[in-house]
Structure 1
Amino acid sequence: MSTSGYDRRAASRVLAGLARPGLFADTPTARPGRVEFVRTPLTFEQDSHLTLSQRLYLERFMRPCRPDQVTSATHRLAWTDGDGVPNTGFVHSDGLGAIVPIAVRETVLTLWHALEDNHALAQRVLELSANDRAVLAATTTDHEPIDIFRVGIEACGRALAQHALLAHTTPYRSPAEFACGMRDSGIFAAVATRWYWELQASTYRRGMIPVAFDVQPDRTVRYTAETVATLRAMKDATIADAHAVMHRATTVEGLSVPAALAKYHDELDLISRQYALLPPGTRPACLAATAHRVDGGHYSLLPVIAERFVEEFVATVERLTVDEVDGEISGDTGDFAPEDRIFYVPDMNCKHCVRTITGVLESMRIRVHDIDLISKRVVAEFRSPRNRHRAFEALRDGGYNPVSARPVPDAAQPTETAV
């Protein structure tokens, strides 16, 4: 089958060349000093530590991972972030508290703004050759370099917030210490190289993590040998599934490679370029973790982002106050008003998510007017409060956490401690 233009190492080299002179602007963006949140306990199945959504995802997509290898969050949070966007996250009752996912989100926003303010980077992107753009278009889910960098920043934050569900099994007793411990232990690189994208994104959206830590004598942590073996087996199973679907689509069904990718990536969530187009016997390499020789030296994008992320996260935690208030997680019931056609999906991370969410809504005959990946904003033509409620439930079954456009609780307010 033809894989014209698909080249993961070449795509990684393009991104490294863009980022090496500098990825972020130096001027920090003022963020809120106080955020209010609401907390709701998760509902677990009888005699289980997993929710229904977690169990179904485990059984369908995580073989051979066992239920006892999965740690679940105990509570889901809702808050409005410093950009005024309703957000959700997960925490464990034995963990470091709500400040971790909230500070992660504020750090993501800080770095997104620093990325957008880097005018030299924008100029380098404009000067990309047609061949480099073709490589990105043929290889990556998000084709625009700024979008790819933005997704990478969010993935870094996702890794930190998700592993915080295991903070009680580590030596780290504060959010800042935990973040530095994850960096010093190489966990960001472990996620990039040992996990696969859909597993990390989907388990994060469901408030679960399928790994365990071993504490080392120097107080760093590593994945247990069982965790490494299980992650490898899950990745191999996913690659095998993708190859099987692609082979059937291009031989039995007679589809072209692009048509097969479009049909099964969108409809069944079983296939993507990252796995389906890999040559037999190879395993996917993270674009950010791949090392290149740039300007006479070795360069890898992932440690640059991880180091800056941890630095900004520590600074954010030092000045951020979070307060729990009474309220509801989502405003998907009650009177129906025009503004109820607008909602947010905070865990919508990339263009694959956009396609998935659009597909769920359109399968319910709900017309989608607009989806903005950056603001996480969706405008859809719901017919009634019941129709909206059912759509939200369908999205939650897919691992997403839609929230009302009406901020719950009140929007974060900057204080004198904001920088």
Structure 2
Amino acid sequence: MTTDQAQPRYDRRAASRVLAGLARPGLFAAIPAPGDTHIEYTCTPLRFEPGSHLTLSQRLYLERFMPPCRPDQVTSATHRVAWTDSDGIPNTGHIRDGGLGPIVPIAVRETALRLWGALAADTALAQRISALRPDESALLAGTTTDHEPVDIFRVGIEACGRALAQHALLARSTPYRTPVEFACGMRDSGIFGAVATRWFWELQASTYRRGMIPVSFAAQSDGSVRYTAETVATLRAMKDATIADAHTVMRRATTTEGLSAPAAIEKYHDELDLISRQYALLPPGTRPACLAAMPHRLDDDHYSLLPVVVEHFVDLFRDTLTRLTVARIPAESEPGTGDDLAAADQIFYVPDMNCKHCVRTITGVLESMRIRVHDIDLISKRVVAEFRSPRNRHRAFEALRDGGYNPALTRAAVAATASGGTDTAV
């Protein structure tokens, strides 16, 4: 029988040091030079509940997972945008009327792709990873959701982009009037570090997918911005509540139900914000810390991974904007709910699938509806599932949207099926 003692070691600081050691000699040494890129996007208004500035999905998530955050503390996007990136992968993002526009989420995605390309091309990094000791690899496996170092770096890059695009919903309350000014202002104001230390992981991922942000900015006399005192207090309260919930579930599972810690995590993993390694395995009285934000002393020098990623991301985002043009096209409607499905119609994409936690959640939603999942590829965001009919697929997509995801059909499937649905943004 598997015991807690037999499980890989859980140690966030030690795992952070392993990642810092891999990154310290240099990340992103060979960033691919892009050509000019033109991207077309669709733009669909969000559907708010009557008398509210929130959608149904936003309100439900707020009520279930964000106490004591109030609705008036949340800013919502006004539109959802969808596009296919330069790698041919469908994407979705959110924007707000009067803000910086769709070029921000689109440029964020293109920036992430270039940095991912640099990781893939970094042979020195690959050699350092292959030289990891077995205990170091086991440490990452026991501590992080994504176990492979390159996957962890990729998720960190994507989280950096999410923070930039999500906070752009607040651009009108800042002194920054262009995407470049906003990105540099976010960096210089330390907002990326604030997200890493004050938010909890699932809050950022889930609110981003839903087009909402539970913070407010206060402009400073030096031209920077900071979170308001109320924002800081609310983020702390939400984080503490999430940790407390995770410990409650863990105590019940390990005492009343007699499960080991790994078995408890396995059983309750689908309670997204309530149980995960990040919270449930923390010793009492401690707080989860972002692995990239932890400082270390390496080679007689102080080193932290987060500032390195942020600096590269902002610089590359600025460069990407000079080579990127975007244009709006009419939105495609969803296919109808008839009786027939071709083999190609079993394929769809989940643009806001960010990590293995998302893969597990999406699989759980589909399998709970007795829909067999044949394949999920995190890189291409591609899912192959055994839908029984167009109606069954339509209901599955609605269930995924209720979970904050925005499934997208292939263009071939859209073109081949008579339109009869409506664009939905929740």
TM-score with structure 2 length normalisation?
Answer: 0.93
User: Superposition pairs for residues 201-216 of structure 1, below 5 Å?
Assistant: 201-216=205-220
Q: Which has the higher contact order (CA 8 A, sep 6+)?
A: 1
Q: Following TM superposition, where does structure 1 have runs of at least 4 consecutive aligned residues deviating by more than 4 angstroms?
A: 1-4, 329-335, 407-410
Residue 314 of structure 1 aligns with which residue?
318
Distance in 1 (CA, whole Å) between partners of 2:113 and 2:242 is: 32
The yes-or-no answer on 1:402 pairing with 2:407 is: yes
Distance in 2 (CA, whole Å) between partners of 1:394 and 1:231 is: 28
Contact 2:92/2:351, CA 8 A, preserved across alignment: yes
Name structure 1 gaps, 5 residues minimum: 411-419
Distance change >3 Å, CA 65–CA 309, structure 1 → 2: same
In the alignment of these two chains, the number of paired residues is: 410
Distance in 1 (CA, whole Å) between partners of 2:386 and 2:363 is: 12
Q: CA deviation at 1:327?
A: 2.1
The yes-or-no answer on 1:86 pairing with 2:86 is: no
Q: CA deviation at 1:9?
A: 0.3
Distance change >3 Å, CA 124–CA 407, structure 1 → 2: farther
Contact 1:81/1:105, CA 8 A, preserved across alignment: yes
The yes-or-no answer on 1:373 pairing with 2:378 is: yes
Residue 197 of structure 1 aligns with which residue?
201
Distance change >3 Å, CA 330–CA 297, structure 1 → 2: farther
Name structure 2 gaps, 5 residues minimum: 416-426
Residue 77 of structure 1 aligns with which residue?
81
The yes-or-no answer on 1:250 pairing with 2:251 is: no
Distance in 1 (CA, whole Å) between partners of 2:333 and 2:240 is: 37
Cα displacement string for residues 28-62 of structure 1 (whole angstroms, at most 9, x for unaligned residues): 14355111001000000000000000000000000
The yes-or-no answer on 1:223 pairing with 2:241 is: no
Distance in 1 (CA, whole Å) between partners of 2:283 and 2:273 is: 20
% same residue: 76
Which of 123, 127, 131 is the matching residue for 2:131? 127
Q: CA deviation at 1:23?
A: 1.3
Distance in 2 (CA, whole Å) between partners of 1:104 and 1:204 is: 13
TM-score with structure 1 length normalisation?
Answer: 0.95
Q: CA deviation at 1:339?
A: 1.2
Contact 2:335/2:414, CA 8 A, preserved across alignment: no
Distance in 2 (CA, whole Å) between partners of 1:287 and 1:331 is: 43
Q: CA deviation at 1:25?
A: 3.2
Cα displacement string for residues 120-152 of structure 1 (whole angstroms, at most 9, x for unaligned residues): 001100010001011101100010000000000
Cα displacement string for residues 260-307 of structure 1 (whole angstroms, at most 9, x for unaligned residues): 001111356520111111111111111000000111101000000000
The yes-or-no answer on 1:155 pairing with 2:150 is: no
* SS of 1:266 mapped into structure 2: coil
Contact 1:330/1:408, CA 8 A, preserved across alignment: no
Residue 350 of structure 2 aligns with which residue?
345
Query: Which is further off, 329-338 or 195-204?
Result: 329-338
Residue 295 of structure 1 aligns with which residue?
299
Letter in 2 for 1:42: L
Letter in 2 for 1:273: R
Distance change >3 Å, CA 268–CA 169, structure 1 → 2: closer
Q: CA deviation at 1:328?
A: 2.1
Distance in 2 (CA, whole Å) between partners of 1:332 and 1:244 is: 44
Which of 50, 53, 57 is the matching residue for 1:46? 50
Cα displacement string for residues 175-220 of structure 1 (whole angstroms, at most 9, x for unaligned residues): 0110000000000000000000000000000000000000001110
Which of 376, 379, 389 is the matching residue for 1:384? 389
Residue 99 of structure 1 aligns with which residue?
103
* SS of 1:149 mapped into structure 2: helix
Residue 416 of structure 1 aligns with which residue?
none
Contact 2:42/2:331, CA 8 A, preserved across alignment: yes
Contact 1:392/1:402, CA 8 A, preserved across alignment: yes
Q: CA deviation at 1:153?
A: 0.2
Distance change >3 Å, CA 247–CA 179, structure 1 → 2: same
Contact 2:242/2:273, CA 8 A, preserved across alignment: no
Letter in 1 for 2:388: R
